[in-house]
Structure 1
């Protein structure tokens, strides 16, 4: 069979595209996903759970071999020590990141999308994308010019009455610091603290797969969903993409289509293009790959939001419990303007986590997760490690490559430290410390029985005498920097931030859309890859710049908008 559309990647973008393109009965649509299915009535409990910490750390749902550099990699000094590789959790399951993420449903700043247009994405300014954000959502709380009521993804906020004591204390600390309360994070984009907006209904996750690939959609005769199917290589006839070879449950198969759409995310989509000979000429020649289309922007200017964490020990009476009305661990957020380096309003974001992990120690540790909402570090890249399709690419985020990002995180840490020591938070927490998402933390975060029992023992000790708890935190939790050090010594604070800064799993911008004459653009404003025919990219990789948001809703919006463009083009051709 020759399909009209073959979508490679069943994540957030792929789920939207499969739904919208197959809604026209004349279109034959094939959706390929490397991970497992999440069919209605059989969604794994870890994915469906309103608390996302188990799904996120469950290796069944990850590309387990993917590791990245987050710190700056020097290519000018071959003798420089390379920074450590870090595991970077990317989803390998139907629904993609929306099946394992924190269920954060925010959009970013209107200025983000006006910048998209100014960078060459004509038709993607705020007034043009807002209708598609509204098309995505079914807002359960608000009915106004900002929100949609008919979309596939429910959106809501946990009322303050259901917040745990730690979340309430953090909100009070924000108020004392002079920030105003915003009832709607996705309303007017101004500074303030607010209930986090989530893609969740009746205390259950609603992923893109759950929302867009429901029972009725799956019954369509013109839609085929093939899970446990990993794309191996794109097939070209001349410069036209005509199909894909894939391994389906261990067996290689070939699929042919009129149009192929890559929706594999900002790491794997550029890797597919590079293996097909689409990318920077020098790198392709170094890899021995014939050049099909010379596009220097493929894999370049990869972005994420640089992030740090200030953590603390939660007093027993203030902890999040399974019996609470909501088991959500992040209930309140803060958006503020740093006024550093000409940054736009709302350039900084803080998420308050009242539980740091699924296990017993996680229940005892709170974190204020700060990230640079409007980052200027855009020198990351994705390159091939080899031509073997089974090998993960080389990924370098080069976070903090722009000094303004470092300066803002330093200022933010000091601000959060003052809030941490303010009466509301001091009453419910103790022993603050600069936190690092180290390999040790990752290892203990893997969901298994060994870690379940190990953390129970550690938790019992942490709840013991205060002196023992401080010793354990400084000896086994803190990664080389104490709270006192970083608060009294700016050099120590800078060193901590340079070492501890990580991304927040918002990989984007590695196949940017832009003007035809822009040498660094990879796709046009409808996702079509320059220099070839029959091939599009539709996912976070085509963002011109990462927005001031968790990226899931911008991805859903992008897929909705491109799906409309594809359907409009096919009507014209018909």
Structure 2
């Protein structure tokens, strides 16, 4: 809705304003508006659709990446004109509305690491109930899976995958990798099938299920028609937020990009790692020298944007003979350990997909592998280009700035070669290439150089406003997502993670939103 459609928004006194209606924000709006005595406003920069009105090119699970109407323009590197920061969704449902629908959680080791660093409330046993609360899984053990949550999670049978996807799994097993029947177990080492947050649409007349399955994003799962009818919940779409407003160090509302102001007792930023980080900086929350350079009044001197992370990957294309089927788009995932990994840590994954550029293959057939260093050490930065809310921030991911990340990717490529050398892939694989079509070198020196050239973002940007104990030099938030030194302001999205989880972020962001929403409800309106 807009101001024109709902004029009460301009004058309504809100208890909570949530900025950003993506993987986290839609969850927050749904859960916090369960208290009918609490007035909640959700502001989304992009369009708002319901389950029945999502355009097919967005709703279908096999359509990935959205389009120009549902994504932000690319940010640029700090100090250059090079594109950076990757694809970002601009639509109700956020990244969950345009991703590949893989629904894989962060493993236990990520939470053990965070708890050991001082975030004891984020231990695995503490967060597991919120993972379970979010899902309605049709597979796995009840100890690890929820059965009544908003998001349906489906695990395909192996014989439902493409023949090439089946061959990848079989070759991995022949190569000696472990079989994994559940990628959402606490220690999910081995080769398994991607669980997906998709659902068959019985109203779609298409004969092929791949043409009927919809991606059940958070706008569909959490903002149902019944939820949207709540009198205490307003949704303001197609509206960008400039900054958070304060009386001293207490929140009083937000200012929109067009200058209008909305009042609230609490504000929750859920605009994504890049969006929330930029809003904090424009609000005067960030490094004082950087804010001074843009003539922004300092509210809190905190290291916003100084710990940004993403997972580096190289996209491998395996040119093949044989079966040319390209659906379903996802297949198996190998989650493994490099020679540098700790005993409980998974720092490599190989993600099978059918997103390869078939025109580059001499046979017209290929499959893709995301070879990812999923526990990197490199950190980047996020800064403002200017204080103008219409100006995109600058993002430098600094991928592979730590040497060990390069070594992990070298080992990831070696794992794929090992798999390709075993049947049933061995007799099908012609050659292995990077995304630009160049062949993957076999000698170590050339491979290292090629990886540095070919590395890309995995679109799992996190940690622009990380949680951490008081005194942590990178911490912006406490373990409940509250901004240090301020009252009434929280962050709930991928910004808050102390470092990037070892996996795609969507299910873990949803869990975090469930967790923080519960903490807000437990605290009550007087404990912002």
TM-score relative to the length of structure 2: 0.91
Contact 1:50–1:328 (CA<8 Å) still a contact in 2?
no
Q: Say which structure is richer in helix.
A: 1
Task: Indicate which of 194, 197, 202 corresponds to 1:199.
Answer: 197
Offset at residue 360 of structure 1 (A): 7.2
Describe the superposition over 1:491-550 as per-residue Cα deviations: whole angstroms up to 9, x where unpaired: 211111111111211100110111123232111111111122221111110101211111
**Using the alignment, how far apart are the partners of 1:328 and 1:163 within structure 2?**
6
In 1, the alpha carbon distance for the partners of 2:518 and 2:119 equals 16
Contact 1:383 1:395 in 2 (8 A): yes
Aligned CA distance change for structure 1 residues 221 and 506 (closer, same or farther; 3 Å) = same
Q: Deviation digits for residues 313-365 of structure 1, max 9, x if unmatched? A: 243x41225xxxxx3211111011113264743221110113336x9779843
Are the equivalent residues in 1 in contact too, given 2:93–2:220 (CA < 8 A)?
A: yes
| Cα pair distance change 1:15/1:174, threshold 3 Å | same
Aligned to 2:483: 529
Q: Which of 9, 13, 19 is the aligned partner of 2:30?
A: 19
Q: Does 1:487 align with 2:442?
A: yes
Alignment match of 1:211 (pick from 192, 212, 221): 221
Superposition map of 1:225-374 within 5 A: 225-247=235-257, 253-295=260-302, 297-315=303-321, 317-321=322-326, 327-340=327-340, 342=342, 344-356=344-356, 364-374=365-375
Counting only pairs closer than 5 Å after superposition, residues 445-524 of structure 1 correspond to structure 2 as 477-478=437-438, 482-483=439-440, 486-488=441-443, 490-524=444-478
C-alpha distance in structure 2 between counterparts of 1:65 and 1:571, whole Å:
38
Equivalents in 2 of 1:57, 1:361: separation in Å? 23
Question: Which of 480, 503, 508 pairs up with 1:549?
Answer: 503
Q: Counterparts in 2 of 1:119-138, with a 5 A limit?
A: 119-138=117-136
Gaps of 5+ in 2: 1-11, 201-212
Partner of 1:151: 149
RMSD: 2.1
Q: 1:342 to 1:122 in 2, by over 3 A?
A: closer
**Equivalent residue, structure 1, for 2:75:** 66
Shift of 1:40: 2.6
1:52 is displaced (CA, Å) by 3.1
Contact 2:353 2:367 in 1 (8 A): yes
SS in structure 2 at match of 1:511: coil
Please state how far the C-alpha of 1:277 moved relative to its aligned partner: 1.2
Q: Could you tell me which runs of 5 or more consecutive residues in structure 1 were left unpaired when the two chains were aligned.
A: 74-81, 322-326, 437-476
1:516–1:209: structure 2 CA closer, same or farther, 3 Å change rule? same
* Larger mean Cα displacement after TM superposition, 347-356 or 20-29: 347-356
